[in-house]
Amino acid sequence: MTLLIAALGVLGVASSGPLIAGTLGATSVTALAIAFWRNAIGAVVMAGPVIIREPKAFGKITRREFGWSTVAAVALAFHFACFITALQLTSVAAATALVCLQSGWIAVFQLFRGTRHRWPVLVGLGIAFGGVLAITGFDMGSSPEALLGDLLALAGGALAGLYTLAGGKARQSMGTGTYTTLCYGMCAAIVAVLALFSAQPLTGFDAGGWLGIIAITVCAQLVGHTAFNHLLATMSPLLVSMIILLEIPGAALLAAVFLNETLPAGTYAGLALILVGLAVVVAGQRRGRPEPDQRLAELGTD
């Protein structure tokens, strides 16, 4: 049963990139509409159990908790804006791998905060950075559009790292349901404002567009992330984080099968380097037990 849940989790998060790219390419759905509805629906789903179990939970949120949740929501909103836009410009495989550098960015942010990592973490960061250079180098030669998509995906990964660190601060005293409801709800509101200023509609799509939005929300948000949350109760965080890294080859495989996406050999080498590098980073951080922030990082955002 555990293996089945793990497989569903990997399939759920790996399907995020291909589903988003397919929906954007085949329907009139906009990037910010996907980000808005994914978070809005997620907030409603998470709010239900909280309201039933503890109706006054949201009234007990402190100023500190609200502040960190707001930082996390802003970072998450711009993360989705960067990542989903990147999927329109570069390959699904490249965008997914670059945005999955979240764990690497967290390690970098921790370095600036004074955390001393063990040498395997630094080696892993170097390997992953080599993968970034391989992917962006090949995309630089193919088209400026693809390179821009790579850079947006990189920014999305950094924002995901910031989202995780801020969420870790908020979660020190907040329940999971309360935090995710507040964060997802504020994120949806921020995305709605971004959509207003960029003139991207949030409604008015055909049936195929709404089906794509629902599929993305259910597969990536509800099935994928819920599966990994469940596994954390029965598996070590290190093992769960390693399983989540299968999102990188999983997304590349799904994009190749369903979107007929083909990549240069050098790009596949870059994907492999990022995968290996992140595995070394995660393993090194768990052995070094740097900070509780990393436990949240293992769940990712996509």
Q: pTM, whole model, 2 decimals?
A: 0.88
Q: To which H or E segment does residue 234 belong?
A: none
Reading the block at residue 57, the tokens are 């939970």
Distance CA 119, CA 158 (A): 22
Q: What is the pLDDT along the chain (302 residues), one digit of tens a residue?
A: 788 998 998 999 999 999 999 999 999 999 999 999 999 998 999 899 999 988 888 999 999 999 999 999 999 999 999 999 999 999 999 999 999 888 788 888 888 888 887 888 889 999 998 999 889 887 776 788 999 999 999 999 999 989 988 988 898 888 888 999 999 999 999 999 999 999 999 999 999 999 999 999 999 878 887 788 677 667 766 677 778 888 899 999 999 999 999 888 888 899 999 999 989 888 886 655 545 554 544 455 67
| Count of beta carbons in the 10 Å neighbourhood of residue 232 | 15
**Residue 77: alpha-carbon gap to chain centroid:** 11
DSSP letter, residue 149: H
Please write down the long-range contacts of 231-240, taking CB distance under 8 Å and 24 or more positions apart: 231/2, 231/5, 231/6, 231/9, 232/295, 232/298, 232/299, 234/2, 235/2, 237/286, 237/294, 237/295, 237/298, 238/282, 238/283, 238/286, 240/298
- pLDDT for the residue numbered 121: 86
Whole-number pLDDT of residue 22: 95
Helix (H) or strand (E) holding 157: helix 144-170
Report the alpha-carbon distance of residue 267 to residue 262 in Å, rounded: 10
Q: What is the pLDDT of residue 297?
A: 42
d(Cα 61, Cα 219) in Å, to the nearest integer?
A: 30
pLDDT at res. 298:
43
